[in-house]
Structure 1
């Protein structure tokens, strides 16, 4: 299968690599797909501690996304969620006292959210299963053992990772399921100060763990990537590159304007 996929990639690049015009590429992939790819650029910049550039990419993305026809097709709640998530992330990137971890987490949330909106299968947030569920299991174990310090550490890790993935979950799972998950998380936040010492609390914690595990495993899993997915991914990467070039051009024009004003 891997050889077949490699052959397909080579064929696609050979047939289209030298002949795609900018106009043709611009029509490849949706604005949302381009936005998802561009959010990945911002995330990588933040990982390199290039926060100003990451903010500029995200600001450009927010502006372009707001103008797109596809943004208007989203449900009103989804529009508000995307806007508020990006705006909160921009505010975090602008904080001088903010840590790199906090900034990367915020941008990861944006990336997962946009991917959840555009992906029909294998959303990226599913890759967070271990980071979300494993701390919950540690909370169960250490609560039974009466190790309150370890319980608090595991709770901090769980909540941090849950709030990264929460925006994506809110648009990608059934409304009643999301409400149930949020209810379980609210219980964890409320009872954490007691370190889940009672049997009732520990049973509720086990229920929360089972609920979140089901969220990560209850979707249809594709055993092999489809040819359509592969070609779409290649198109999305090419589109994102041109989208990024557009941002660079936009940034350059702004810089020139500032220099002209100074003169």
Structure 2
């Protein structure tokens, strides 16, 4: 993860804060058509990104951004800020020629975010279930076998996957469930270097696993049921920042101990 990018991301989100004001009164047909067009464009951006065709991806992303900005009155202010922030993140990554995996992950996150704007069908973020749940299972196994380094690696895998679906969760997920999950993940990540009994960590991982399972089982929410505020979005970004910071601390501590021994 790129710490400079996260700083830009956090500052941007803090700057643009948003109140919930409901939806502009536009026809559902116009909204559906526009959303379908935006989803299609975001899908193209995603495919160019994973094909490492950064110039083509950046060009289409610019077009997507323009169309998004011209259709803001169709969407809630929460959706405007979630999608807008995701667009800015991918733009920064493409402009700075960041790691290709970071670009691909950001493009996937944006694609899932746009899909979450739709009311019909199963949301795409639920297709990431195995990518989320498998690292949690391996974390549990690593803790039981007292393999700390393996646990730390799988924790980072989980955090990376969670960051990808997070914008979609904000738009489509139940606010109370996502808020609780953020709190649990932040607690686990912030104390990853502390000397805590395996049984306690296993309990923490199990609670996160249960929360994630409930989220994946929920039905697609109606737009008016989503009332998450700025602090929930910041919470998700903090999780990602903590993942980077705590991993740096972990590797530094390992190096320090190796020098001592």
Q: Whole-Å Cα distance in 2 between the matches of residues 155 and 201 of structure 1?
A: 12
- Is 1:123 the counterpart of 2:123? The answer is yes
The aligned runs of 1:91-170 (5 Å cut-off) are 91-96=92-97, 98-170=98-170
Report the Cα offset of residue 196 of structure 1.
Answer: 5.7
TM-score normalised per structure 1: 0.69
- Is 1:34 the counterpart of 2:37? The answer is yes
Which residue pairs with 2:173 in the alignment? 173
Which residue pairs with 1:60 in the alignment? 63
Which residue pairs with 1:72 in the alignment? 73
Q: How many residues align structurally?
A: 191
Gap regions ≥5 residues in structure 1:
1-26, 221-263
8 Å contact kept, 1:144–1:197: no
Gap regions ≥5 residues in structure 2:
1-29, 221-261
TM-aligned CA distance change 1:47 to 1:195, over 3 Å: farther
8 Å contact kept, 2:32–2:118: no
Q: Which structure has the greater CA radius of gyration?
A: 1
Provide Cα deviations, 1:4-33, integer angstroms capped at 9, x if missing partner. Answer: xxxxxxxxxxxxxxxxxxxxxxx8951111
SS at match of 1:90: helix
Report the Cα offset of residue 119 of structure 1.
Answer: 3.7
- Is 1:88 the counterpart of 2:107? The answer is no
8 Å contact kept, 2:143–2:201: no
8 Å contact kept, 1:143–1:196: no
TM-aligned CA distance change 1:64 to 1:160, over 3 Å: same
Q: Which has the higher contact order (CA 8 A, sep 6+)?
A: 1
Which residue pairs with 2:54 in the alignment? 51
TM-aligned CA distance change 1:79 to 1:29, over 3 Å: closer
CA RMSD of aligned residues (A): 1.8
TM-aligned CA distance change 1:91 to 1:173, over 3 Å: same
TM-aligned CA distance change 1:64 to 1:200, over 3 Å: same
Q: Whole-Å Cα distance in 2 between the matches of residues 191 and 134 of structure 1?
A: 22
TM-score normalised per structure 2: 0.69
8 Å contact kept, 1:43–1:54: yes
